[in-house]
Amino acid sequence: MKLDLSQFNDIDFENIGGWPNQVKTFFAVLLALCVFAAGYFLVVSDSVDTYNAEQDKEVQLRDDFKNKYQLAANLKLYREQLATMEVQFAELLKMLPSENEMLWFARRFNLRRDRCRTSNKELRLGAGNSAGFLY
């Protein structure tokens, strides 16, 4: 079966049935390739992109699952740690002064502050007085 290129010169597109078998086979293969290429670019390429996106999402979901599984596996330890921290926090709260003690500290602080201000005023006023009297 030798391909004779002169057969392509004499083809009539209005009488496809009269073409030689080699020319019919060539155009059938060419048409099939065009249909497959168009089908790939119109239908399959979008599906491939969607498939790749879903694979990436699957990897992300697996990582999330692993992280959440590790948290769930250690949940008992976390709860024990939380209970210990609550006990320690309650002990620290007991060390804080009560409301009455806070008022006492505030009054004492204000009293000392007032005394310091008064003594500073006396010192400033007395420094310029030659007789040493306080006003």
Cα–Cα distance measured from residue 134 to residue 122, given in angstroms and rounded to the nearest whole number: 7
Q: Give me the pLDDT at residue 98, please.
A: 78
pLDDT at 133 over 60: no
Q: Are 11 and 19 in contact (CB under 8 A)?
A: yes
**Band (125; pLDDT cuts 50, 70, 90):** low
pTM, rounded to two decimals? 0.39
Nearest residue to 30 (alpha-carbon basis) of 38, 41, 40, 18: 38
Q: Which of 58-62, 69-73, 82-86, 128-132 has the lowest mean pLDDT?
A: 128-132
**Band (3; pLDDT cuts 50, 70, 90):** low
Look at the chain and count its residues: 135
Q: Give me the pLDDT at residue 63, please.
A: 96
